[in-house]
Amino acid sequence: MLHRRTFIQYASLGLGALSIANQRIITAFFEDPWKIKMLRNNVGIFTERGGTIGFLLHKDGIIVIDTQFPEQSNHLITELKNRTDKPFKYLLNTHHHGDHSSGNIAFKDLVENVVAHENSKINQQKQAERQNSVDKQLYPDTTFTNELKIKSGDIKLTADYFGPAHTNGDALYMFEEADIVHVGDLMFNRRHPFIDRSSGASISNWTKVLDTAVNKYGKNTIYIFGHAAEGYEVTGTADDLLKFKDYLNRLLGFAQQEVKAGKTKEEFLKNKEIPGVTEWKGDGIERPLTAAFEEATSGA
Ligand SMILES: [Zn+2]
Ligand SMILES: [Zn+2]
C-alpha cells in the first residue's frame, strides 16, 4: 500500500511525468478495500473485514453465505449486482457472531430466505438483545437441526450440523455442484481460534466435528474458512482441517495435563506456546488457553 505522503509527492509531479509502473502503483492506491476471488463453478469468496463470505452466482439466482458488517455487505451486493441481474435467493449464516451476521440487515427486502442452525438464531437474538441492536438484525426465517437440503431451480445446497464446536450452532454449507464447503469459524487457518464457551463451544467435540466433515465430504472438496493468519489463505483442503484438529487435540490435552499437575489458571495462561504445535503462531494464544483450561476443569 502506497503511503499518502508518497502519493502526494507523485501527484504533484503530474501523472504525465510518471512511469507506467508508478501509475499502476497509484491506481492500486485507489483500489477497493475488498477482494473477490472466484474459486470454481461460479462460487467465489469476498473478503474485507470479518469472516469470509462465500457466494454462488447461478442462472437460477444468487446464494450468499455470511455477511460481515453492513458496510461490507453493501459492497458485496453492489459487486454482485454488477455481475448478474438474478435475484438473491438464499442468505445462509454459518453462526451468529457479529463478524458473520451483522451485515444480514443489508439484505432486508432483497433476499428471499435467511437460513441458520436453530441455535445460531437463538444466539443471534440473545446477542442483539444484550447489545441493544435488535433493530439492526435480520434474523433467519428458516432453521435446521441436523441437516437441511436446499433446492432452488438447479441450485443444490446441503446444510450440516455436527454438534458443538466453535459455538453450539456452527453450520457447514456445501455447494453441491462446485464441491465447495463453507465451514465458517470451524476453521481458523494457522491462527489461534476464538472458542465461544458462553455460546456452548466444546473443544473436544470440535475435533470430532472436523473428523466428521473430512469423512463426509470428498477428496477434492474445497473448504472456505472463517479466518486465516496474515499471509495464509481463507480456503484450503481436508488436510488443513486435520491439522487444525491436531492443534485442538494438543491444546486440550495440554490443558488437561497441566490441570492434573495442579497448575492454576493464572500459571497456565503464562504459556506462550502449545507443546507440539508449530504452525499455529502469533498473537491471541490467551483465548484458546483460557477456553481449554475452563473445559479441562469443568469436565465438559
Ligand atoms: Zn469469525
Ligand atoms: Zn465466530
Specify whether 40 is located in the same domain as 22: no
Ligand nearest to the Cα of 100, by number = 1
| Residue after which a domain boundary falls, among 236, 263, 288 | 236
Specify whether 41 is located in the same domain as 4: no
Q: Does residue 282 fall inside a structural domain? A: no
Q: Does residue 288 fall inside a structural domain? A: no
Specify whether 8 is located in the same domain as 94: no
Specify whether 86 is located in the same domain as 160: yes
What is the rounded CA–CA span in Å between residue 174 and residue 119?
A: 19
Please give the distance, rounded to the nearest whole angstrom, from the Cα atom of residue 97 to the centre of ligand 1: 6
Q: Does residue 261 fall inside a structural domain? A: no
Say if strands 235-236 and 111-117 run parallel, antiparallel, or are unpaired: unpaired
Give percent helix, percent strand, percent coil of the chain, each to the nearest 5: 40, 20, 35
- Integer CA distances (angstroms), 96 to 121, 127, 157, 199, 271, in order: 7, 8, 20, 10, 30
| Strand order across the beta sheet in which 61-65 lies | 35-40, 43-47, 53-58, 61-65, 88-92, 111-117, 142-144
Please give the distance, rounded to the nearest whole angstrom, from the Cα atom of residue 172 to the centre of ligand 2: 13
DSSP secondary structure letters along 186-232: G-EETSPPP--GGGT--HHHHHHHHHHHHHHS-TT-EEE-SEE-TTS
Specify whether 76 is located in the same domain as 14: no
Give the pLDDT confidence score for residue 1 in this predicted structure. Answer: 40
Specify whether 21 is located in the same domain as 106: no
Please give the distance, rounded to the nearest whole angstrom, from the Cα atom of residue 31 to the centre of ligand 2: 28
| Residue after which a domain boundary falls, among 236, 256, 273 | 236
Please give the distance, rounded to the nearest whole angstrom, from the Cα atom of residue 68 to the centre of ligand 1: 9
What's CA 20's distance to the chain center, in Å? 38
Specify whether 123 is located in the same domain as 155: yes
Q: Which residues surround ligand 2, an ion (CB under 5 A)?
A: 97, 185
Residue written as grid cell 463453507: 182
**Is the torsion defined by CA of 220, 96, 122, 211 positive or negative?**
positive
| Residue after which a domain boundary falls, among 188, 207, 236 | 236
Give the pLDDT confidence score for residue 300 in this predicted structure. Answer: 52
By the 8 A CB rule, do 163 and 208 touch?
A: yes
Say how many domains are in the chain. 2
Q: Does residue 243 fall inside a structural domain? A: no
Give the pLDDT confidence score for residue 32 in this predicted structure. Answer: 87
Please give the distance, rounded to the nearest whole angstrom, from the Cα atom of residue 72 to the centre of ligand 2: 17
Please give the distance, rounded to the nearest whole angstrom, from the Cα atom of residue 19 to the centre of ligand 1: 41
Low-confidence ranges of the chain (pLDDT < 50): 1-15
Please give the distance, rounded to the nearest whole angstrom, from the Cα atom of residue 193 to the centre of ligand 1: 9
By the 8 A CB rule, do 170 and 160 touch?
A: no
What CATH code is carried by the domain that includes residue 207?
A: 3.60.15.10
Specify whether 7 is located in the same domain as 96: no
What is the rounded CA–CA span in Å between residue 183 and residue 171?
A: 7
Q: Does residue 295 fall inside a structural domain? A: no
Q: Does residue 286 fall inside a structural domain? A: no
What are the residues whose beta carbons fall under 8 Å from the beta carbon of 21, sequence distance 6 or more? Answer: none
Please give the distance, rounded to the nearest whole angstrom, from the Cα atom of residue 111 to the centre of ligand 1: 22
Q: What's the longest Cα–Cα distance across the chain?
A: 71
Q: Does residue 147 fall inside a structural domain? A: yes
Specify whether 12 is located in the same domain as 56: no
Ligand nearest to the Cα of 99, by number = 1
Give the pLDDT confidence score for residue 9 in this predicted structure. Answer: 41
Q: Does residue 50 fall inside a structural domain? A: yes
What mean pLDDT is reported for the chain?
A: 93
By the 8 A CB rule, do 285 and 192 touch?
A: yes
Give the pLDDT confidence score for residue 17 in this predicted structure. Answer: 52
Specify whether 91 is located in the same domain as 23: no
Please give the distance, rounded to the nearest whole angstrom, from the Cα atom of residue 37 to the centre of ligand 1: 19
Specify whether 88 is located in the same domain as 190: yes
* pLDDT tens string 250-276: 999 999 999 999 999 999 999 999 999
Specify whether 169 is located in the same domain as 21: no
* pLDDT tens string 44-78: 999 999 999 999 999 999 999 999 999 999 999 99
Model-wide pTM > 0.85: yes
Note down the domain range covering 187: 36-236
